[in-house]
Amino acid sequence: MDLTIPQADIERKARARRFAETVLFPQEVALELNGRLPDATKAMLKQAVIDHGLNAINQAKEHGGQGLSIFQQTLVNEELGKATGALWAVAWHPAIPLRLGTKEQIRDYLVPSCQGRRRGAFAISESGAGSDPRRVQTRADRRRGRYYLTGEKWYVTSGDVADYLIVHAHVDGDPDKPTLFLVDKVLPGVRVKRTPKFMHTYVFEHPEFVFENVELDESKMLGKVGQGFDLTKDWFVEARLQIAANCLGASIRAAEIANAHATERVQFDRPIRDFQAIEFMLADMAVEIMAAKSMVYRVAWEIDHGLDRKLVHARASAVKLYSSEMAGRTIDKALQILGGRGYMRENPVERLYRDIRVDRIWEGTSEIQRAIIGGQIKKRGLGPYVDWA
């Protein structure tokens, strides 16, 4: 078995690292201190994404994307994940379900989204519906051949910069008819209720949207009636793999900073890395990162080589669970090694510490991932997690 990464992919990963270090890192402190970036800076970052070939890495070239495999996307997302303030989000990934749209939807939504002329955001969660999508109250009532969308959505990540939303709703209020709709933000009845502030600093926002009898025709339905949850799960798989890769990158950056500090910081006439307490923390961090990287790379490779769809869902949950919790442990140790310096917002480790906490919550909490994994074990035994094939 050849586990060697092709040279072309190593070079692609290096280019992504240079983009993160030269384009994203210089914006981190200003974003943290001001809470947002000027519009001119956002425009510069958007153009830089295109110039570096990082737009729509998850979509086919025929639609204006980069056509990267899942493994190649993982290598890129690992490097971008090293940036604080979720600056990795400036490199947009149009939602996977869009590629299953009609010719008109691909023309009007997917292609311009890949090119950076449009941007979408997924709207799923609500005040009473998060882990349990059947509790969604947003409904699309069919009347005289049209749909009328009513409801409220929370945590719509990047909803401030999106010009359209992919809304998960129940047709006629029936939880057995989950359906996705493409909703342009300019439509009458679409409004932002509020934009809450969160623990992390994020380059974009997570607004709450209200939909008041928004009129849609059938051309705005993505997929078929009742297909919404399956399409959403496909998006969850992609999002969970991206989160895992981002967590891996964040952990590596924190470990590198802590390792350098442990060499340079002298106390009691010797570098603090010579003290076993510090040495053991660095060792534990290295091993955890190695384990996570092995898991993330393996599953990405398996997906590219035709892993069964049900196993993809099962293993994506394991990858997201382990990587997000590993990042919490690793970055916590890095902060401890840095001491007071690690508690300063000007230090990347402090920002990473806050950034990665949400990774155990969004796109499925750690508890939901454990429930998925437990359910898979109940159905299929331990094979999906302990066998290689």
CB 247 within 8 A of CB 293: no
Q: CA dist 158 to 70, 121, 319, Å?
A: 23, 6, 24
Give the length of the chain.
389
Catalytic residue among 78, 208, 302, 363: 363
What distances in angstroms separate CA 151 from CA 134, 171, 210, one per listed residue?
A: 14, 12, 6
Cβ(285)–Cβ(365) below 8 Å? no
Distance of CA 207 to the CA centre of its chain: 17
Q: Which residue pairs, CB below 8 angstroms and at least 24 apart, start in 39-45?
A: 42/90, 42/161, 42/203, 45/87, 45/90
Q: In terms of DSSP bridges, do strands 266-267 and 270-271 run parallel, antiparallel, or are they unpaired?
A: antiparallel
Quote the CA–CA distance of 85 and 63 in Å, as a whole number. 29
Tell me the C-alpha to C-alpha distance, in Å, between residue 113 and each of 109, 133, 182, 249.
Answer: 6, 26, 13, 26
Task: Give the C-alpha separation, 355 to 243, whole Å.
Answer: 11
Q: Count the neighbouring beta carbons within 10 Å of the beta carbon of residue 353.
A: 22
Which helix (H) or strand (E) covers residue 112, if one does? Answer: helix 111-115
Task: Output 262-266 pairs: Cβ under 8 A, ≥24 positions apart.
Answer: 262/337
**Residues 6+ away with beta carbon under 8 Å from 269:** none
d(CA 116, CA 50): 8
Residue of 71, 115, 260, 234 whose CA lies nearest to 166: 234
Report residue 18: phi and psi, to 5°. -65, -40
Let me know if 363 is a catalytic residue. yes
Q: Which residues are catalytic?
A: 363
